[in-house]
Each structure stands twice: as structure tokens, then as C-alpha cells.
């Protein structure tokens, strides 16, 4: 878990960080529609599963942007070199879910293999956390039953929890495109609208060019 410290005094977002961490503690969320036509074509061709494929694409986009890898550690603002997904998995028999984690790797096939191993290892474990989550993480969940236009995850205490959260909905066809609703929740102390826009563009590029990533 390597990281670098942020020199807040020399940071161009120093005032923004202080304001949204200490004075007006807040995050923000928005929902977008990601075009996943190429993703669905790819998983049909390769025999992959949709959920871990999207977790991989989200992980790749998150790790590209430092604003999505920030955290407080030992009272200092840091940027993790790498962050890993914590994702929810439904247990149909109990209608509860677990939060599992699989280490991110840029190797797509390796990530899917590790995801499958995690799935097999903890498939009968109904605990919320089958294993301790990594400190350097971000969050993924899914509502595959609902095609939503807006979703807001309310986090009670925004003080120092900077890990972003992503929630996927039910995808549907609109014209010639397959669209996936994706809700994004970030802490405003470390992330602005511009950074979210850049992240969305990266994710869309990875979805459009998924055949080049495997």
C-alpha cells in the first residue's frame, strides 16, 4: 500500500479542501448513462460475466485519476498509488449482501480470474465483510432491477472518508445504444465536477474500446 503525501500548503485546492472538509462538510453525487454496447458485445463473445467486467473498467478508470485515490492517513492527506474495489454481492437465499474485495490489476484476464476465486471462496459466507477490506479502496454496488435516472447515497459523516462510491442500475436499449445508469458519489474536499467529468470520459473510452484491453 504505497502512497505519496500531499503538500496542502502548496496545493492549488488548499482553500477548497479546507472549506469542504472543515467548514461546509459535503460531498456530491450525480447519475450518468454510460454507453455499454461494446461491453455487452465483448462479454457475449468472450463468455465473461457483466458485473466483474464493469468492476474492472471502473477500477481502471478510478486508478487513472488521483482525485479518486485520496485519503487521510495519520492526519495527513495522501494519494494511494493504487486502490482496489469493494463490491456488493447479493445472497438470494437471505436477501442480504456481502461486501467483498478483489485486488485490482491492469491485467483484465487476471482480474477476472481473481474475482472468480474470491467468488468461489466466499460464496457461502453471509457476513457483511467476509474478509477485512483493504485500506486503499473504493466502493461499487449494483441495483440490476432498477433503471434509475437518479440515485443518491447518503453518507452521514463526510469528514474524512474520501473513497468514491459507484452504483450501477439496470441497463436498457435506447435506439441503437445500450445504456447503463451509473451513480457517482464523491467527497467535495478532494473532487470537483471537472474531475468527475474527466473520470466519466475515461470510463466511457474504456467501455468503447474494451476489445483492446483484454
Specify burial of residue 19 (Cβ count, 10 A radius: 0-12, 13-18, 19+).
Answer: middle
Pairing type for strands 137-142 and 27-35 reads unpaired
Q: What is the 3-state secondary structure (H, E, C) of 17-30?
A: HHHHHHHCCCEEEE
Catalytic residues: 188
Which residues, in sequence order, are CB contacts of 15 under 8 Å at separation 6+? none
Q: List 75's β-bridge partners, or say none.
A: none
Q: Please, what's the largest Cα pairwise distance for the chain?
A: 53
Which residues have C-beta within 8 Å of that of residue 165, sequence separation ≥ 6? 138, 139, 140, 141, 153, 155, 184, 185
Amino acid at each position: 500500500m504505497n502512497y505519496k503525501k500531499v503538500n496542502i500548503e502548496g496545493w492549488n485546492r488548499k482553500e477548497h479542501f479546507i472549506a469542504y472538509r472543515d467548514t461546509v462538510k459535503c460531498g456530491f453525487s450525480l447519475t450518468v448513462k454510460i454507453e455499454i454496447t461494446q461491453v455487452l458485445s465483448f462479454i457475449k463473445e468472450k463468455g465473461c460475466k457483466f458485473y466483474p467486467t464493469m468492476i474492472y473498467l471502473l477500477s481502471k478508470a478510478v486508478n487513472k485519476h488521483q482525485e479518486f485515490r485520496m485519503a487521510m492517513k495519520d492526519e495527513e492527506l495522501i494519494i494511494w498509488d493504487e486502490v482496489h474495489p469493494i463490491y456488493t454481492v447479493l445472497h438470494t437465499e437471505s436477501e442480504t449482501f456481502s461486501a467483498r474485495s478483489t485486488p485490482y490489476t491492469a491485467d483484465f484476464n487476471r482480474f477476472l480470474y481473481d474475482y472468480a476465486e474470491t467468488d468461489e471462496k466466499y460464496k457461502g459466507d453471509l457476513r457483511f465483510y467476509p474478509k477485512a477490506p483493504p485500506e486503499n479502496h473504493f466502493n461499487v454496488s449494483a441495483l440490476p432491477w432498477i433503471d434509475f435516472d437518479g440515485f443518491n447515497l447518503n453518507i452521514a459523516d463526510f469528514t474524512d472518508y474520501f473513497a468514491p462510491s459507484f452504483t450501477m442500475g439496470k441497463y436498457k436499449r435506447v435506439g441503437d445504444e445500450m445504456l447503463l445508469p451509473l451513480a457517482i458519489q464523491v467527497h467535495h474536499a478532494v473532487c470537483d465536477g471537472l474531475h468527475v467529468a474527466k473520470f466519466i470520459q475515461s470510463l466511457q473510452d474504456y467501455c468503447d474500446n474494451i476489445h483492446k484491453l483484454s
